[in-house]
Amino acid sequence: MVYWQYSSKKNIIENALKADPYSANDYNIAKAIYYPAMFLAFTGVAGIGYGLITPLGAVFGNSSSLEAGKYLVVGGLIIGGIGLVLGKVSNSYLDSSIELYNKNNGNESAFKVKLVPTEKGGLALAFAF
């Protein structure tokens, strides 16, 4: 039941972002980058894991597996890093899509940063999402 409620709210938000002509482009770019980013990140993690386990083959007499393990770990780090960077780019496009939707529909910004007074007369940095 909870999943259905979350899913329906998520669909409402996605449909609203897709329907707005200003935010639709950024939303589509975010979704187009998201899935390859997750694939690269998971592939990188798998490469790191397999590369760390591969040297165990050297214990059983396969000396070439020790060298291959190093390359798998380095390759996994590089591929995983690229995936994480693309994930961050995707998230930035999604945030800008939400901002464009809010601005074009007369709503205030979804992300606010303000300086607010404290009880003792100082200033504090406040974030609102």
- Residue whose entry in the numeric block shows the structure tokens 């909870």: 2
So what's the pLDDT on residue 1?
42
Query: Residue ranges per domain, the chain?
Result: 2-128
82: exposed, middle or buried (C-beta count within 10 Å: 0-12, 13-18, 19+)? middle
- Please indicate whether residue 15 or residue 4 has the higher confidence score (pLDDT): 15
Q: What is the pLDDT of residues 42-54, one digit of tens each?
A: 999 998 888 888 7
Greater model confidence, 58 or 105: 105
